[in-house]
């Protein structure tokens, strides 16, 4: 899948430039360290930067779980399925002309339906769905690690190396950037961890898709297993709708 949105490419480029800038600055400061710490700091900095940059590019170009559009709408506009004993009504996407599977939603930016769509991330110029959600979590984790490492290393330089000279402008800038990024990325990682534990997506949580209770919720351990394995949901049975209105459903997926 190619990056189609020219405006969003600048988001991706800005993130890559920020990571490259921070890492190169860290490396340029490495001579201030003793030989014992200089090499490990360079290796860790470059490793984290390369991992994060490659994951950003990978998430940006991977197919998040795009569902194929159809020319004509389905004969039956709705479909009723049973999920863990709960009856759910599935609707037709008027743009893609398909009956959206459970947890699939249409993205107005991508103009396609995405399987198990979580949200559209401008910073990677792509939707986060079934195929790249796990990599997105790994990206958040390694970005947090890089932020913590940058902050810690900069504080160490200020406290133990440049105290006598007072030349700590660059280190202070790195700390400010690290704290700002850690505040936002760390909070996002905590939020997505909560979603994994409760077997929800960002869309489902913010839109309150399941007002009568999440039919996909199981146990804490099972929710985590389902996410990391990303296996098809079990116990989903299709039923013949009794009426277009779907009067028997307990949950209505938009």
How many domains is the chain partitioned into structurally? 2
What pLDDT was estimated at residue 54? 92
Query: 8 near 122, Cβ under 8 Å?
Result: yes
Q: Are 50 and 83 part of one and the same domain? A: no
Contact between 29 and 175 under an 8 Å Cβ cutoff? The reply is no
Same domain (yes/no): 160, 206: no
What is the H or E stretch that residue 253 is in?
none
One domain for residues 115 and 203: yes
Task: Identify the domain containing residue 245 by its residue range.
Answer: 78-121+199-252
The pLDDT value given to residue 154 = 85
DSSP string, 180-235: HHHHHHHHHHHHHHHHHHHT--HHHHHHTS-TT--TT---HHHHHHHHHHTPPPSS
Q: What is the pLDDT of residue 139?
A: 95
CA neighbor of 158 nearest in space, from 21, 29, 16, 8: 29
Q: Which residue has the higher pLDDT, 245 or 35?
A: 35
How many angstroms separate the CA atoms of 91 and 86, rounded?
16
pLDDT tens digit sequence for 13-65: 888 888 888 888 877 777 766 667 777 888 888 899 999 999 999 999 999 99
Instruction: Identify whether 104 is part of a domain.
Output: yes
Check residues 239 and 145 and name the one with the higher pLDDT. 145
Q: CA angle, corner 141, sides to 136 and 143, nearest 5?
A: 95
**DSSP code per residue over 156-167:** HHHHHTSTTT--
Q: For residue 35, is it within any domain?
A: yes
Looking at residue 64, what is its pLDDT?
92
pLDDT at position 86 is: 67
Structure-block tokens of residue 101: 């599977």
pLDDT at 8 over 80: no
Which band of pLDDT confidence, cut at 50, 70 and 90, is reported for residue 243?
A: very low
CA distance 106 to 112: 6
Cβ contacts of 128 within 8 Å, gap of 6 or more: 59, 64, 117, 118, 119, 120, 121, 136, 202
* One domain, residues 16 and 111: no
Q: How confident is the model at residue 158 (pLDDT cuts 50, 70, 90)?
A: confident
Q: How confident is the model at residue 17, as a pLDDT?
A: 85
Least reliable range by pLDDT among 86-90, 179-183, 201-205, 231-235? 231-235
pLDDT in the model for residue 137: 97
More confident residue, 1 or 51: 51
Q: Kindly state whether residue 185 falls inside one of the protein's structural domains.
A: no
The reply to whether 57 and 138 lie within a common domain is: yes
Domain presence at residue 72: no
Question: Does the pLDDT value for residue 238 go beyond 70?
Answer: no
The full DSSP string for 79-119 is EEEEETTEEEEEEEETTTTEEPPTT-EEETTTTEEETT--E
Q: Domain for residue 37, yes or no?
A: yes
- Sequence length of the chain is 254
What pLDDT score was predicted for residue 84? 64
Do residue 17 and residue 113 come from a single domain?
A: no
Same-domain pairing of 173 and 86: no
Q: Distance (Å, rounded) from C-alpha 61 to C-alpha 204?
A: 24
SS3 174: helix
Q: What is the mean pLDDT of the chain?
A: 81
Same domain, 171 and 205: no
127 included as an active-site residue: no
Per-residue confidence band for 250, with pLDDT thresholds at 50, 70 and 90: very low
Share above pLDDT 90 across residues of the chain, in percent, rounded to a whole number:
36
Closest to 250 in 3D by CA, of 101, 75, 103, 84:
84
Give domain status of residue 66, yes or no.
no
Mean pLDDT within 229-245: 48
122, containing H or E segment: none
- Catalytic residue (one of 113, 121, 127, 147): 121
Query: What mean pLDDT is predicted for residues 185-205?
Result: 95
CA distances from 252 to 118, 210, 217 (A): 18, 7, 16
**pLDDT tens digits along 121-139:** 988 989 999 999 999 999 9
Flag whether 227 is in a domain: yes
Q: Is residue 47 part of a domain?
A: yes
- Residue 83's DSSP bridge partners are 86, 236
Q: Are 230 and 138 part of one and the same domain?
A: no
Of 11-15, 116-120, 239-243, the range with the lowest mean pLDDT is: 239-243
């Amino acid at each position: 899948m190619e990056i189609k949105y020219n405006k969003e490419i600048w988001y991706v480029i800005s993130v890559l430039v920020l990571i490259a800038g921070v890492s190169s600055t860290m490396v340029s400061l490495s001579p201030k360290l003793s030989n014992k710490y200089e090499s490990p700091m360079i290796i860790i900095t470059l490793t984290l930067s390369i991992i994060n940059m490659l994951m950003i590019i990978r998430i940006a170009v991977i197919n998040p779980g795009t569902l194929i559009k159809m020319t004509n709408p389905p004969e039956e506009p709705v479909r009723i399925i049973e999920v863990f004993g709960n009856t759910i009504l599935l609707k037709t996407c008027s743009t893609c002309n398909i009956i959206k599977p459970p947890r699939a939603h249409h993205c107005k930016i991508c103009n396609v339906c995405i399987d198990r769509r979580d949200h559209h991330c401008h910073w990677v110029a792509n939707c986060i769905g079934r195929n790249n959600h796990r990599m997105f979590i790994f990206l958040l984790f390694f970005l947090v690690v890089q932020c913590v490492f940058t902050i810690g290393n900069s504080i160490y330089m200020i406290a133990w190396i440049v105290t006598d000279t007072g030349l700590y402008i660059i280190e202070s800038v790195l700390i400010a950037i690290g704290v700002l990024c850690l505040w936002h990325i760390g909070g996002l990682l905590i939020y997505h961890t909560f979603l994994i534990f409760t077997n929800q997506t960002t869309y489902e949580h913010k839109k309150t898709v399941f007002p009568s209770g999440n039919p996909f919720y199981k146990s804490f351990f099972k929710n985590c297993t389902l996410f990391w394995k990303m296996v098809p949901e079990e116990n989903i049975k299709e039923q013949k709708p009794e009426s277009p209105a779907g009067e028997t459903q307990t949950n209505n997926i938009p």
